[in-house]
Amino acid sequence: MLQETINKVKDMHDTTVGNLRQISGTHPSENPEKRNDFLNLSDSIEVELVDHNANPYKAMFLTSTATWGDNTYKNKWSDTTPAGKLEVIKAVLTNNTLPQAREMVNFIFRVRGVPRWLFDRHTQTPFTSFMSIGCRDNNKLDSDFIFQDGKTITDKEKQTLNELKDLYEYVIEKGHGSWQSARTFLPQCYQHSYYFGQNLLSISAMKFIDDEEGKMLKLLYSKINEKIYDAFMLIGIYTNIIFDKQETLRYISELSYEELTDIDKEYLKGDK
């Protein structure tokens, strides 16, 4: 009887793990179809906001007012009107209170469709955390080649990239799935996917140099800005500071409670 129970549990575990590996694309039988598509960044890039503070406005309000009060040290959120909370948050966003309050607001994004080399540059951003699919333990035969918009790829360059992918495939086949060795021949413009986390203070400090790398990172952060705006209008207005500092700060300082979206108002009203 005990052995039957153990066998049932083992079968359930094997089925669960098998399903998980199938969904994740890590099943031993996984053999992606080879692709050599050449894509512009704007056509391939995908950004999704997958997680964030339960209420980033509350996080900013409570931490920025942490130096206020007497010995009772009240939680001031519930006793403050929504319009009053907005004034405090505006002070946070216009650099008139503790900058650490912006560090308390955290986002996690899913990014797909950037070249691997751009990911390597992105990981150099301070106060960020990155987790990616990589090429060390995954088969990248189905990855596209990604380039800056407007960049001309000659027939000779395409031929070279295709031949490198052929070499990559050959090493995988000869090495029976040795992705670690095969990646030596994988061009760094191959399509890369990853998740990363970044706090609001770090996002607002982003700078972009005027070269291929800077322009592609700028496009990535324009997508990030859009996703934040869709979830939290006021914070999305603020993150536009990386593109236009003076106009952004002026707009926020003049923003009234009535101009907020219903979603933003709900966050300011209660404990959402």
The candidate with the shortest Cα–Cα distance to 213, out of 123, 106, 127, 109, is: 123
Concatenate the DSSP letters of all residues of 113-182 into one string: EEEHHHHHHHTTSTTEEEEE--SSSS--TT--EEE-TT----HHHHHHHHHHHHHHHHHHHHTTS-HHHH
Q: What predicted TM-score, i.e. pTM, was given to this entire model?
A: 0.86
Distance CA 20, CA 10 (A): 15
Which pair of tokens denotes residue 257?
């409670």
| Per-residue model confidence (pLDDT) at position 13 | 60
What domains lie within the chain, and their CATH numbers? Answer: 35-69+77-151+189-269 (3.30.1360.170)
Phi, psi (rounded to 5 degrees) for 84: -65, -40
Q: Are strands 145-147 and 38-40 parallel, antiparallel or unpaired?
A: parallel
The candidate with the shortest Cα–Cα distance to 182, out of 151, 139, 234, 230, is: 139
Cite the beta strand spans of the chain per DSSP E.
38-40, 46-52, 106-115, 128-132, 145-147, 191-199
Using only C-alpha atoms, the chain has a radius of gyration, in whole angstroms, of: 24
Residues of the chain with pLDDT under 70: 1-30, 177, 271-272
The candidate with the shortest Cα–Cα distance to 211, out of 123, 132, 133, 117, is: 117
| Per-residue model confidence (pLDDT) at position 63 | 94
Contact 215, 148 (CB under 8 A): yes
| Per-residue model confidence (pLDDT) at position 15 | 64
| Per-residue model confidence (pLDDT) at position 70 | 83
Residue 111 pairs in a beta bridge with: 47, 194
Per-residue pLDDT reduced to its tens digit, 23-35: 655 554 467 888 8
Which pair of tokens denotes residue 159?
């031929």
